Amino acid sequence: MKLIFTKSDLTKAVNIVMKAVPSKTTMSILECILIDATTNEIKFTANDMELGIETKVAGEIVSKGQIAIDAKLFSEIVRKLPDNDITLETDDNFTTTITCEKSVFHLAGKSGEDFSYLPAITKERSVTLSQFQLKDVITQTLFSIAMNDNNKIMTGELFEVLNGSLKVVGLDGHRIAIRNISLDGPADDAKVIVPGKTLSELSKILAPDAESFVHIYFTNNHILFEFENTIVVSRLIEGEYFKVNQMLSNDYKTKITINKKDLLDSIDRANLMIRESDKKPIIINITDGSLEVKVTSSLGSSNEVIDIEKEGNDIMIGFNPKFLIDALRVIDDENITICLVNPKAPCFIKDREESYIYLILPVNFSA
């Protein structure tokens, strides 16, 4: 096989498929990129058995063939080569020669036949949205999923398509993040749980581009994202997702409107007074026209007052500041609405259309 690429095309393709290369594995073939030019197009593939990515690369096929090559080393070499044409050539022993200007590398490759191909996905049920929208809904919910594996379902996100709308949900037992968007064009109903790792890597390769579209295909065991020259295939998490609608409520005793940046900055500062080991809450004290953020810890104390518009009762309630910060950071609105019931009940940060809903459980505090 002999292929010629521009450095920029090669760099872009390698960076995309690298997202599916596992950092640690006992199977060294999984640490490889498959470079396939057996047909009239060049495709790069990586596959960690849960997540697989394949992308088409612009390049000249001088002679056909395929090779599996160590992903990390190959990507480092490509990145450091001069900005010029890069030639990749293999021999019968799978030795791969990479040449650029006067620089020549010889690497031991592996037979492409040992490589685990991506599963074949039947493209029956699908929805379409822009790369921008998909990147956004992932970023705005993914922080809420659980980091550890105690409950497998919490490490993924619900993707639910119903009546032309997409709902994406992440939760970890202390909070829930929900994004709802209405889809243009036809959309098949679906309800699947997508691994958080898949969405995290996917969001890194999606462009913030509202004009370029992603087609999502669902099967019983897999989800496939197709955009530009790339497909991302992932296994789904098996099981029944939590009945999130039962946890939501439109009742409230207190409803406030507040400048998002003021609240975020204030909690961010208060958080300085809390050491990880402390597990101290911050206290939010809402009275007519003002919200006070305060904290008392072994380091000292802080307080800050922010102007608000308020409807309903006064309330004093404690929160883990991290949960509030995470949600406030991803909201784009200048002013936000927060609904509260009592110091034991969850608070809701949401917009009028419920395009986003952040539910956060309070924590106990000693007043």
CB-CB contact of 78 with 33 (8 Å):
no
Q: How far is the CB of 298 from a copy of itself (least distance, A)?
A: 9
> Which tokens is 143 given?
């922080």
Q: How far is the CB of 300 from a copy of itself (least distance, A)?
A: 4
Residue 226 main-chain phi, psi, to 5 deg: -125, 125
Q: How far is the CB of 345 from a copy of itself (least distance, A)?
A: 28
Read off the DSSP letter of residue 191.
E
CB-CB contact of 159 with 245 (8 Å):
no
Contacting range for a copy of itself; rule: CB under 8 A; set: 130-138, 172-180, 266-274, 325-333: 266-274
269 near a copy of itself, rule: CB under 8 A? yes
Which of 207, 306, 331, 363 touches a copy of itself by CB under 8 A?
Answer: 306
Q: Which amino acid, one-letter code, is at 41?
A: E
Q: How far is the CB of 73 from a copy of itself (least distance, A)?
A: 6
CB-CB contact of 125 with 115 (8 Å):
no
- What does each C-alpha distance from 80 to 75, 83, 145 come to in angstroms? 9, 9, 36
In the block, residue with structure tokens 């109903």: 189
- Interacting residues with a copy of itself between 271 and 300 (CB under 8 A): 272-273, 299-300
- Interacting residues with a copy of itself between 70 and 129 (CB under 8 A): 70, 73, 76-77, 80-82, 95, 102-108
CA dist 345 and 181 (Å) reads 27
Reduce the DSSP state of residue 43 to 3 states and report it: strand
Based on the number of CB atoms within 10 Å of its own CB, is 352 exposed (0-12), middle (13-18) or buried (19 or more)? exposed
> Based on CB atoms, which residue is closest to a copy of itself, 100 or 339?
100
> Based on CB atoms, which residue is closest to a copy of itself, 102 or 344?
102
# of chain residues touching a copy of itself (CB under 8 A): 29
Q: How far is the CB of 104 from a copy of itself (least distance, A)?
A: 5
- What does each C-alpha distance from 291 to 255, 267, 310 come to in angstroms? 12, 11, 9
Which of 302, 317, 327, 328 touches a copy of itself by CB under 8 A?
Answer: 302
Q: How far is the CB of 68 from a copy of itself (least distance, A)?
A: 14
> Based on CB atoms, which residue is closest to a copy of itself, 18 or 232?
18
> Based on CB atoms, which residue is closest to a copy of itself, 209 or 304?
304
Footprint on this chain of a copy of itself (rule: CB under 8 A): 70, 73, 76-77, 80-82, 95, 102-108, 265-266, 268-269, 272-273, 299-306
